């Protein structure tokens, strides 16, 4: 099976990000042949909706069997470099996206007051 990636999400009813607003379905954009292509589309969608706290997108990998929560404190809001003296946190693996999402939500809520902390879910 060839790897492929999808950008999935949309506007949700609340910040639990479990139910799409208006009883619709999540948008699925793709497939993309590489993670980098999907990440570019994810970044564009995320930046276009940055002012709406109810819009969220993620990258799904076809055939993923492991899910990891990855992140920590970064140097700035580009979230590209871990802060000096900090280490990237990796929690997992989890067998399902939903299980990983619960851990992502707990870590994110614990750091809600620090704008430089960000977590994501990686799939393998």
Domain coordinates of the chain in residue numbers?
A: 1-63, 65-124
Confidence (pLDDT) at 68: 92
DSSP structural state of residue 14: S
Closest of 1, 123, 120 to residue 71, by C-alpha: 120
pLDDT digits (tens, 9 = 90+) for 48-93: 988 898 998 988 888 778 889 999 999 988 888 899 988 899 999 9
- Per the DSSP assignment, residues forming a β-bridge with 18 are none
What is the residue-wise DSSP string for 22-46? GG---EEEEEESSHHHHHHHHHHHH
**Residue range 97-124, pLDDT digits in tens:** 889 989 999 999 999 899 999 998 888 7
For residue 65, the model assigns a pLDDT of 81
At residue 20, the pLDDT reads 93
pLDDT above 90 (res 23): no
pTM: 0.62
Q: Hey, is 86 helix, strand or coil? A: coil
| pLDDT confidence of residue 123 | 80
In CATH terms, the superfamily for domain 1-63 is: Uncharacterised protein PF13773, DUF4170 (3.30.70.2400)
Contact 91, 41 (CB under 8 A): no
Note the pLDDT of residue 14. 87
- Per CATH, 1-63 and 65-124 having the same topology is answered yes
**CA atoms of 90 and 72, how far apart (whole Å):** 9
Three-state DSSP at 53 gives: coil
CATH for 65-124 (3.30.70.2400, 3.40.50.300, 3.10.105.10, 3.40.50.150): 3.30.70.2400
């Amino acid at each position: 099976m060839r790897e492929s990636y999808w950008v999935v999400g949309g506007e949700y009813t609340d910040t639990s990000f479990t139910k799409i607003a208006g009883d619709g379905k999540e948008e699925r954009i793709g497939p993309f042949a590489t993670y980098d292509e999907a990440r570019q589309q994810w970044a564009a969608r995320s930046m276009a909706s940055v002012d709406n706290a109810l819009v969220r997108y993620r990258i799904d990998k076809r055939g993923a069997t492991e899910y990891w929560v990855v992140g920590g404190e970064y140097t700035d809001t580009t979230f590209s470099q871990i802060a000096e003296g900090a280490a990237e946190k990796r929690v997992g693996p989890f067998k399902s996206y939903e299980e990983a999402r619960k851990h992502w939500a707990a870590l994110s809520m614990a750091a809600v007051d620090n704008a430089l902390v960000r977590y994501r879910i990686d799939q393998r």
